[in-house]
Structure 1
Amino acid sequence: MPQSDISASRFYTRWINADASRAQKVAETGRLSLNAEVFARILQEETAAGTALPAAMRRLRNLVICTLIRRDLSGHADLAEVLDTMTAFGDFAVQQQLAAVTADMIALHGTPIGAESGRPQEMIVLGMGKLGGGELNVSSDIDLIFVYPEDGETATTSPEQKQLSNHEFFVRTGRKLIAALSEITEDGFTFRVDMALRPNGASGPLAASLNMVEEYLIVQGREWERYAWVKARALTGHPDDIAALDQIVRPFVYRRYLDYGSIDAIRNMHAQIRAEVARQEARHPDRSNNVKLGRGGIREIEFIAQVFQLIRGGRDAVLRDRSTRHTLRTLAEKQLLKPEIVDQLLDAYTFLRNLEHRLQYLDDAQTHTLPANEDDRLTVARMMGYADTAALLATLEEQRALVALQFDEIFDDRKSEQQQAEVSAELHAVLSASDSEEAIAAFLQTLAFDHPEEAARRMLATWHSPRLQSLPEASRNKLVALVNAALPLIAKVTQTHAATLGRMLDFLEAIARRAAYLALLTEYPHALERVIRMIAASNWAATYLTRHPLLLDELLDDRTLKAAPDWGAFVQNCQRQLDEVPGDTERQMDILREMHHAQLIRLLAQDLVGDLTVERLADHLSDLADRLVALTMNAIWKMLPNRHRDVPQFAVIAFGKLGGKELGYASDLDVIFLYDDDHPDAPALYAKLAQRFITWMTSHTPAGILFDIDTALRPDGASGLLVTTVASFEKYETQSAWLWEHQALTRARFCAGDTHIGERFESIREKVLCQSRDDGKLKQDILEMRKKMHDAHPNRTQLFDLKHDAGGMIDIEFIVQYLVLRHAADQPRLTGDIGNIALLKLCGELGLIARDLSEQCADAYRTFRRMQHHIRLQGEERARVDKDKVVAETGAVTTLWQQVFG
């Protein structure tokens, strides 16, 4: 901020001129870093000279403000310094005055004692608004709420003391505190105090117990109060009582689900504020520039930040910061707002807050409006570094327009309430009419729906279902409006109209009781279109979204939805959330599931638009599973009592699809558990770790399951130990394992845990795979195993089973396994866990099979996997196709089978 004439502040000039020593005092104070320690020293100097505390505090206040005016207008202080200093002084003033008032009250009435705990009670003073947010301005009032822990009575120590109830004690204490801070004397005041935010406002008691606060927030707490309590910060009180209050307030302010209903609530609150500002501007047209409450003003920036906090703060603690500036920066870091937009908002916030301060520097008045007379306007303009008022107003308009644009991006209603009501009423009438099926079918025909009669019957069945008929009227109206918006989108984005409508109605019926989800789809029409495209493309996706509607949030932003996975950031984010709830097993399990679902829906979105090959998708899904396995294992270990080391000497080994990095969306995980620890408690402790790992993975929580787990490939199968030492595993694999278990090793790898165990496993695996084998015996055993698998999966249809029929995927996998086990002793490159396609090509390069045939079979395997994937996305359990579609592929596989096995 450029240097300005300090005499432009009439308050500064009056205060300095009233005492010749003050200019020097301001200059000396300006060289200090103003904080509680400095405040205390200056205050002590005043009281030591005989000044009463309230007067001394007022003198300190004037000194602090004049020091800030001098530093700010001379270009030596930025906005952060002004806000931080005023907040620190606000905290200091409240704490010092409360301590003095409380001491006086105890002398008169004794110490308040909790009826339940039996311990002395301390008043919690909550700073709200800009004081709570750490962004107090120079002439602001302070919003306070007074809370005390428990009801009870004061314990007196002399007959002169008059016993009071705790409630009366703290009400009187609060009154005295307000007077000490706000009464105007010859030294002015310390702070104006506003208590309107307390429970029940002006009609409520001045001080409330924790029980009273809890009952009020649960029973009567209104939506706008959630916004207010975001800023609540305890300035005084015992830490245990502050923590207890936080446990009451947090679930009121922050929902555990994504709360998009808060957009509408803040929109309504903003409309009320704007209406009041409009009334004031109509009465005083010369005061139309309100930089706080006006269009594009400070309040709109605060609303932008806080709507994200209310929506997401229940799931992400980082968004619970009370500072508007800090929250905006967090939104940029999390890509919830574009960084360049956040930079613009922060620039606007700095400009508007600096302007607000200069308006207040004039006369130390709590104003947010440009003055009416031109001389004062020019003075303010020059304090802001502008040559004239017109230049200031031009910049002000530019900054407000930018803020208003961003505000409208979030809060502008896409459709007026009247229009929504008309749409709902019209569709209500059609759905309730006696000939509604014919009317709906006729309407659907105009949209060129396939099977309009079937679609009409489906709409009516959903509408008349008990679930929907029992909804509140507001929710049913939103649901009808969403269906009305969805119908033309369904006609536009898909050819299977009736089927897509059925999936959409299933989805809407599932989320109908969650107003937040209805609000999200209402507020973000592009999310509704994306849902329709997704469920039209995949029945599996429709089912997945219906089971996990929390994932709707992931469909809002193209940047995150289309971004390639950043596994480092994923692990860091997930670990941070786990660390925020130590010991809370249920919440940690849900965090893991929510993180899994969010990443899965991003991959699904990329998959459905063709951005991922089948192989690349499988790589991503396998990488995701690896990270979740590691995070789960580590979280469980931290909770195990009596663990003898900080890091377990334990590893998870992956087999099957996870081992071969060919995981699908709904694949289970084939794993075994190895450990290498000589401690006597190790076997039991690692067995408990493995058991809990399975439980954490497979348990159904409100967020679903993580993965199904199969441990059948461990040594001795179901009859074997759940966890095995590395030495025992090596002995089993080299001396006792069946051939099919060696086949399984061709698709096995270290997944998570102790890397040294992972290295030892890989060494054992290579040694086993490289064993010399009798070719005749090997072929015979593999052919017998293949027959068993074929017999176990009979196909009585005329279709080709991509996985199990001769010439299909299992044949390719058995060919690869045979080639690895037969030739790895001479060709150790074959032990690499590189997947069936790469291994086929390697066998061709090594001359073990015909090179052209290896390429054809690799392409066939890729084709089979792609076809299987698409069929599974439609919800089909069996992947079967017309035989004519895979003639070339099955021919190549059959030829290679004959060449290998004869």
Structure 2
Amino acid sequence: MLQNMKPSLIPAEQASHFYMHWMNASREKRTAKIQSLITQPLNRLNLEALLKREMDDGYPLPRAMRRLRNLLICAIIERDLSGKADLSEVVETMTRFAEFAIRTHLKTLSEELTAAHGTPIGAHSGTPQEMIILGMGKLGGGELNVSSDIDLIFVYPENGETKTTEPGQRPLSNQEFFTRLGKRFIKALSEITEDGFTFRVDMALRPNGESGPLVASTNMVEQYLIVQGREWERYAWIKARPITGNPDDIRALQEIVHPFIYRRYLDFSVIDAIRNLHQQIRADVIRQEKLHPERSNNVKLGRGGIREIEFLAQMFQLIRGGREPALQDKSTRNILHILVEKRQLDDDIANALLDSYTFLRNLEHRIQYLDDAQTHSLPANENELLLIANSMGMETTSELLDELKKHRSFVSSQFDEIFSDKSSKEDNSKPVIPQPLLSSQSEDEQIHSIQTKLESFGFAEADNAARRLLSFWKTNRIQSLSDSTRTRLVTFINTTLPELLKSSHAPVVTLGRLLDFLESISRRTAYLSLLTEFPAATQRLIRMLDASEWAARYLTRHPILLDELLDARTLLAPPDWPSFTAELEQQLELQRGDTELMMDTLREAHHAQLFRFLAQDLAGGLTVERLADHLSRLADIIVETALKEVWLAMPKRHRDIPRFAVIAYGKLGGKELGYASDLDLIFLYDDDHPDAPMLYARLAQRFITWMTSSTSAGILFDIDIALRPDGASGLMVSSIDSFERYQAESAWAWEHQALTRARFCAGDENIGKRFEALRDRILRQPRDRQWLRQEILKMREKIHESHPNRSTLFDLKHDAGGMIDIEFIVQYLVLEYSREYPELTDNFGNIALLKMSEKLNLIPEEAGEKVSAIYRQFRKRQHEIRMQGADQAKVEPDEVTDQVNEVKKLWNLVLLHPSNEAD
């Protein structure tokens, strides 16, 4: 819960020398002005009307703006100290006023300069040019201090020169025009006069800093950021917000700046860059405090101060902002809230940080209220310190200092938890792996050296592990890395081996998987940074690599999923499907127009959620059935979302929502999807528009392309549409009417078999309802029992012939007595008995349908329980084998003899010897 600010114990005149001097100059008149303002929130004031009032009193614009500024500052002091204004009102009022002053002065000065020199015109575009003023720092973030300077960058769109239209106008180059404009603008705001100043202006953040030109063209900004832009400038440009300029020019500039700030991948290397920047700032603060002891206790730049909270927020922005558009917000306070929504920060941590941020900013304001000075340090004078304490609602300075210490201690602890240098805690003993390029040892000597070290760790098979390590180190990819990156790899492997040995059931196998993974990420230092910065993620990585060959391959193909290992709570949390869907749709909405990015987003969202299931599966938290339910639901959402986006991107569509549906067959239809299952789909439509067949065929084709194309993020699913009417020779899409006719008049028995595991998946719900009703009718239609058995037996024989088992092992899926036989038994029972027992048409899955058949006396007592348990066992065993990387699930025959005999017994009873069936 955020703290409420206590009202000041002393009046504004006592808490602020500035306020007192301002009031004393004309007490009666200024008291009336103050009272007219402070009855309402100041961030809602009509600034134009207030400025006009000053100018109507005869003051020119620069002086009128300064007088308005002084009035606003004093009104803020009055409302803030009395408890009527909160932090939001204070910083929003100052931000609004700064924007108003910038726009007003720029408009006036631009008109004056244009009258003298003509209108600047772009040489390339031939259009009039306007200066873009970017607000940086707290102005850009909408959180400006009461006595802050404003950090600005001036940009103009393109080179050219002014176009003169009046006699006496002297043309200038655009560079010269906007440079003159910038200088006059800075003077108008910052020159100190009898009324003070409007804002101090700091231009140090512009390209090349103080040594660079005052005003830069868009092209110059682009070249600078590409060639010279540094990590700390990424941090600074996060806050960049255009205050003036033509919208098209602003958009063009943002397209340049955005990829410089935000990476499309998760950029954990930024942690080290921010750590170094923080250390430089701290070193400078310490130097200044030694030179000026009276400036110690800096609430902005000191330990646990405002800047550390800003660094925490912006660290998440730089790491994730390219993939999470919501994190591109400019406000520190907003970012802390968003981090909770994105599950990157605990709610209590974020609230405590906001609490500390509010306290520190309020304290900073009270320090600045004292003399309207741009300072962030508590006063050394005891009397002034007491004024600060009283203005914070505290009786004594010790109470203030204790409260300040509490907040700074919390902030610094949170900062250190993320930004402490993890490498300093690592084992710096001699690396296991030598660097062959620098080594004079022979290969055998190097292997022996590594083997000796591994044996000291307790490695069995140390010789094999040593050879694997040396082989890894000598690959071209590793040897082509920079010395610093290779050194980081050495350090990482050296510190990881003890954890691997402790956690692994097969250390040499797991080591090989780890090295394959490290080789795949070796050129993306951000991933190595993640593992270095978050040791807990490394531990989870080792456990996953140890548990599953399939998981190791999957993570090696999609290393971006390392991010999922950071937080065990998120990794192991049950799916929140409404939130997942809403967040995915929100991301895609922001990316419309960039097909490749949208396809990547779909893939990354699918991979991330699948990876969470994988982690839960390997941890023993999911049954095979529950996993299949989750994977099927995930596939449904992806299919629905992709279909929607493909339709929105279709040209010449005749309706907003397509009358088109996706029907799932096979494993997705039966909600038995596995990690690597393909999707068996058919497409139906119900639309009498003359272009509908062609349009929906294109929709289906583009949908398949979206699902199956290999992008930088991989693929989503393989799609099989062979189950459509007339198979490979049939149309890609069918009208629901023609599909009904086909199923009723022309479909083969095996197509009705397939219907037993079919369901509406995505698209038009009315078509979905028609399909479900049709499915129910088809499954319940009367059939000749003997004919049906023969058809199913023929289909079973075809499948057996297409999957010959040439090994001595038992194929859990395809061999007689395996999973296919169980599925065929269920399909026969559904097709034969649904007319009499309609509940069999419900798509409950094979296990439930076997149990139901037993209760309906369609199979002998206990047969349903026994065979359904066997089916569950086989699926689990198949899953475990495939998780170790095998394409086919085969076991020693004697391991499953009893189960196979039980399945064959039921097969013979149901499909070969009907006279023995239960009545």
Normalised by the length of structure 1, the TM-score is: 0.98
Pick the aligned partner of 1:11 from 2, 11, 18: 18
Q: Which amino acid aligns with 1:391?
A: E
Aligned to 2:560: 550
SS in structure 1 at match of 2:791: helix
In 2: Cα distance, 1:603 partner to 1:425 partner? 35
Q: Which amino acid aligns with 1:6?
A: A
When residues 879 and 454 of structure 1 are mapped into structure 2, their CA distance, relative to the original with a 3 A threshold, is: same
CA shift digits 1:671-692 (9 cap, x unpaired): 0001111111110110000001
Contact preservation (8 Å) 1:181, 1:190: yes
SS in structure 2 at match of 1:404: helix
Q: Residues 40-51 of structure 1 correspond to what in structure 2 (within 5 A)? A: 40-51=48-59
Contact preservation (8 Å) 2:433, 2:473: no
SS in structure 1 at match of 2:862: helix
CA shift digits 1:591-617 (9 cap, x unpaired): 100000000000000000100000000
* Cα drift, residue 288 of structure 1: 2.1
Q: Does 1:853 align with 2:853?
A: no
Aligned to 2:372: 364
CA shift digits 1:855-884 (9 cap, x unpaired): 110000000000000111111001001122
After TM superposition, the structure 1 stretch with the greater mean CA deviation from structure 2, 891-900 or 835-844, is: 891-900
In 2: Cα distance, 1:431 partner to 1:839 partner? 67
Q: Residues 845-884 of structure 1 correspond to what in structure 2 (within 5 A)? A: 845-884=855-894
Aligned to 2:917: none
Aligned to 1:304: 312
When residues 622 and 584 of structure 1 are mapped into structure 2, their CA distance, relative to the original with a 3 A threshold, is: same
Q: Give aligned pairs, total.
A: 901
Q: Which amino acid aligns with 2:227?
A: V
Contact preservation (8 Å) 1:36, 1:89: no
SS in structure 1 at match of 2:662: strand
CA shift digits 1:245-268 (9 cap, x unpaired): 100100000001001011110000
Q: Does 1:725 align with 2:735?
A: yes
In 2: Cα distance, 1:462 partner to 1:753 partner? 49
Q: Does 1:474 align with 2:484?
A: yes
Q: Residues 72-91 of structure 1 correspond to what in structure 2 (within 5 A)? A: 72-91=80-99
* Cα drift, residue 427 of structure 1: 4.5
Q: Which amino acid aligns with 1:235?
A: I
Aligned to 2:416: 408
Contact preservation (8 Å) 2:812, 2:818: yes
* Cα drift, residue 450 of structure 1: 3.2
Q: Does 1:137 align with 2:145?
A: yes
Aligned to 1:599: 609
* Cα drift, residue 183 of structure 1: 0.6
In 2: Cα distance, 1:329 partner to 1:392 partner? 27
Aligned to 1:889: 899
Aligned to 1:838: 848
Q: Does 1:898 align with 2:908?
A: yes
In 2: Cα distance, 1:518 partner to 1:570 partner? 28
* Cα drift, residue 101 of structure 1: 1.3
Aligned to 1:665: 675
In 1: Cα distance, 2:343 partner to 2:289 partner? 37
Q: Which amino acid aligns with 2:582?
A: Q
Q: Does 1:158 align with 2:159?
A: no
Pick the aligned partner of 1:438 from 448, 469, 472: 448
* Cα drift, residue 205 of structure 1: 0.3
Q: Which amino acid aligns with 1:196?
A: A
When residues 231 and 826 of structure 1 are mapped into structure 2, their CA distance, relative to the original with a 3 A threshold, is: same
Pick the aligned partner of 1:753 from 726, 744, 763: 763
* Cα drift, residue 496 of structure 1: 1.0
After TM superposition, the structure 1 stretch with the greater mean CA deviation from structure 2, 531-540 or 608-617, is: 531-540
In 1: Cα distance, 2:85 partner to 2:591 partner? 40
Q: Which amino acid aligns with 2:751?
A: E
Aligned to 1:118: 126
Aligned to 2:504: 494
Contact preservation (8 Å) 1:218, 1:252: yes
Q: Does 1:459 align with 2:469?
A: yes
CA shift digits 1:709-734 (9 cap, x unpaired): 00000000000000001111111111
In 1: Cα distance, 2:903 partner to 2:437 partner? 58
Contact preservation (8 Å) 1:860, 1:889: yes
Pick the aligned partner of 2:513 from 503, 510, 528: 503
Q: Residues 571-720 of structure 1 correspond to what in structure 2 (within 5 A)? A: 571-720=581-730
Q: CA RMSD in A?
A: 1.4
After TM superposition, the structure 1 stretch with the greater mean CA deviation from structure 2, 432-441 or 635-644, is: 432-441
After TM superposition, the structure 1 stretch with the greater mean CA deviation from structure 2, 279-288 or 89-98, is: 279-288
Q: Which amino acid aligns with 1:844?
A: E
After TM superposition, the structure 1 stretch with the greater mean CA deviation from structure 2, 755-764 or 775-784, is: 775-784
Q: Which amino acid aligns with 1:317?
A: P
When residues 22 and 425 of structure 1 are mapped into structure 2, their CA distance, relative to the original with a 3 A threshold, is: farther
In 2: Cα distance, 1:884 partner to 1:478 partner? 50
Contact preservation (8 Å) 1:36, 1:92: no
Contact preservation (8 Å) 1:305, 1:327: yes
Q: Does 1:211 align with 2:219?
A: yes
Q: Does 1:534 align with 2:506?
A: no
CA shift digits 1:734-788 (9 cap, x unpaired): 1111111111111100000111111111111111111111111111111121112
In 2: Cα distance, 1:450 partner to 1:884 partner? 32
In 2: Cα distance, 1:211 partner to 1:758 partner? 54
Aligned to 1:515: 525
Q: Residues 308-387 of structure 1 correspond to what in structure 2 (within 5 A)? A: 308-387=316-395
SS in structure 2 at match of 1:112: strand
In 1: Cα distance, 2:436 partner to 2:351 partner? 49
Contact preservation (8 Å) 1:450, 1:496: no
Aligned to 2:916: none
Q: Does 1:428 align with 2:435?
A: yes
* Cα drift, residue 286 of structure 1: 3.9
* Cα drift, residue 495 of structure 1: 2.0
CA shift digits 1:319-358 (9 cap, x unpaired): 0000000000000111100000000000000000000000
Pick the aligned partner of 2:774 from 751, 764, 768: 764
Q: Which amino acid aligns with 1:344?
A: A
Contact preservation (8 Å) 1:575, 1:631: yes
Contact preservation (8 Å) 1:139, 1:366: yes
* Cα drift, residue 282 of structure 1: 2.0
* Cα drift, residue 431 of structure 1: 8.5
Q: Which amino acid aligns with 1:756?
A: N
In 1: Cα distance, 2:427 partner to 2:174 partner? 51
Q: What is the identity percentage for the equivalent residue pairs of Structure 1 and Structure 2?
A: 61
Contact preservation (8 Å) 2:423, 2:532: no
Contact preservation (8 Å) 1:36, 1:88: no
Contact preservation (8 Å) 1:841, 1:851: no
Contact preservation (8 Å) 1:430, 1:440: no
* Cα drift, residue 180 of structure 1: 0.5
Q: Residues 213-228 of structure 1 correspond to what in structure 2 (within 5 A)? A: 213-228=221-236
Pick the aligned partner of 1:60 from 63, 68, 83: 68
When residues 426 and 283 of structure 1 are mapped into structure 2, their CA distance, relative to the original with a 3 A threshold, is: farther
Aligned to 1:195: 203
Q: Which amino acid aligns with 2:793?
A: L
When residues 442 and 414 of structure 1 are mapped into structure 2, their CA distance, relative to the original with a 3 A threshold, is: same
In 2: Cα distance, 1:720 partner to 1:303 partner? 60
* Cα drift, residue 204 of structure 1: 0.3
Q: Which amino acid aligns with 1:643?
A: R
In 1: Cα distance, 2:834 partner to 2:438 partner? 69
SS in structure 2 at match of 1:340: helix
SS in structure 2 at match of 1:362: helix
Q: Which amino acid aligns with 2:843?
A: D
- The unaligned stretches of length 5 or more in structure 1 are none
Normalised by the length of structure 2, the TM-score is: 0.97
SS in structure 2 at match of 1:564: coil
In 2: Cα distance, 1:298 partner to 1:658 partner? 52
Aligned to 1:100: 108
